[in-house]
Structure 1
Amino acid sequence: MARRDDESRDGRNYGGLSKEQRVVQRQARLVDAALELFGTQGYAATSIERLCAVANVSTRSFYEDMGSREALLIALVNRQTTRAVDAALQALERTRDESLSTRVVESFHAYLAVTCRDQRTARVHYVEVVGVSQAVEEWRREQRRLLSALLIHEAERGVGRGETTPRRFDLFALAVIGAVNSLAQELVQTTLPDAPISLDEICDEIAYFVSSGLACSEVGRHSPRQGVRVS
């Protein structure tokens, strides 16, 4: 019986790849399969057997390389989030001399352009990860802490530049993140079927929310972001 391409059982090179390289390839295929299946059928409706079939990986290798379906979900959202945070940091660097509201809005736009790149990524990142398990909830809390730290840093930098006044920016950061999450969920699961929303509209709402929340000397000079287009 022919074996799948992941089933060489020793540490020797197989197909020109070392054992470690084959593990990395299998993990990448599993994450890609998870994006497709979790993003279309949903996490709860996707079996390990189906994931393995799509990824061309044996169930034995799945448990050796990934451990569990829950660990695969975390690996998937970690991959997306790492790219999104990198994009947000690049946006902050590009706009370092712009107003505080502009920097915050541009960084969230860059973040959402990755996590909401298409319907699959948005569904996985904002819908399928909710309420899965304690481990996944801890991952979500850690992501909120990371994004909150970035927002707090930018707000405190804005205080130093005279763009806003001191306040509890930790609460402001959580409010912004909560609004972003809710709007992104609406992008996936529209509450009003006849009134779908776009990423452009989400960014406009974030701009209004941030401008109002940081109301200070810059109010009146900042207008909601217009003309944002994501391919």
Structure 2
Amino acid sequence: MVGRLKAPTGRYAGKSAEERQAERRRRFLDAALQLFGDTPGYRGTTVAALSDAAGLSTRQFYEEFRTLEDVLAALHLQVNDWAEEAVVAAFAAAQDLPLADRVTAIFRAYAGNVTADPRRIRITFVEIVGVSPRLEEQRLARRSRWIELICAEASEAAARGEAAPRDYRLAATAFIGSVNGLLHDWSAGWVDATLDEVVDELVRQLLGILRPPEWEPRDSCES
């Protein structure tokens, strides 16, 4: 398929061409979440199977996407966007709280979002891995956004005197790897703990990074 087929224009059944296109795209992504995130997985899904699950035709598929990899790429970004929106909202609500409470609120929001649907974890941590150089670049780019978020919070905490001032990029990179691995293993049933216990452990790890034993807080009354 050299390029996408031209989508129809004009209004139909009270919807504009743009509205119908958005609805088709949503239906394909909803079907992909089910097939890629459960059975048979991305590598076991065909264009015909995805189109059938979406209740659409293969012709309509090629009006929206070039390949199944394009669908996986779009779905991976969507799942990450959902988690990021949850974290940003939690951060805004907790920004005036002490560091430990802020970190807890952020991780509860993230963990709650990505584990609310096991299919999201599979898309983010399993199906996207090793598909192609393009998707590896996308996966690492989105991971980098989470690293930047941790670094920004660490810098803000250091400026408030709540954490040790230093370059946190390496530590944040290692920590995000721990987050992804622990949440994946928990979701797969390999970790005998509640989600709250998992979050509490992640919070302890991050606070240990931000507040090493040799560091003293600038204000002894600070939490």
Q: Does 1:152 align with 2:161?
A: no
Deviation at 1:196, TM superposition (A): 3.9
Shift of 1:52: 0.3
Q: 1:198 to 1:119 in 2, by over 3 A?
A: farther
Q: Which amino acid aligns with 1:38?
A: F
CA pair 10-165 structure 1, distance change in 2 beyond 3 A: closer
Structure-2 separation of matches of 1:79 and 1:9:
23
2:159 counterpart letter in structure 1:
G
Question: Paired residue for 1:206, among 181, 184, 202?
Answer: 202
Structure 2: gaps (5+ residues):
1-5
Shift of 1:50: 0.8
Task: Report the equivalent of 2:94.
Answer: 95
Partner of 2:3: none
Deviation of residue 197 (structure 1)?
Answer: 4.0
TM value normalised by structure 2: 0.86
Match of 2:17 among 16, 19, 29: 19
In 2, the alpha carbon distance for the partners of 1:76 and 1:133 equals: 15
Match of 1:68 in 2: 67
Percentage of pairs with the same residue: 35
- Partners of 1:148 and 1:90 lie apart in 2 by 18
- Whichever structure has more helix as a proportion of its residues is 2
- Consecutive unaligned residues of structure 1, counting only runs of 5 or more, are 1-7, 223-231
Pairing 1:130–2:129 present: yes
Count of residue pairs brought into register by the alignment: 212
Letter in 1 for 2:130: G
Which whole-Å CA distance do the structure 2 matches of 1:198 and 1:70 have between them? 34
Aligned-pair distance for 1:217? 4.1
8 Å contact from structure 1 (residues 91, 110) kept in 2:
yes
* 1:38 matched to 2:65: no
For the 8 Å contact 2:31–2:50, the answer to whether it is kept is: yes
- TM-score, structure 1 normalization: 0.83
How far off is 1:189 after superposition? Answer: 3.0
Supply the distance in 1 between the matched residues of 2:207 and 2:8 (Cα, whole angstroms): 59
> For residues 62 and 51 of structure 1, what CA distance do their matches in structure 2 show?
9
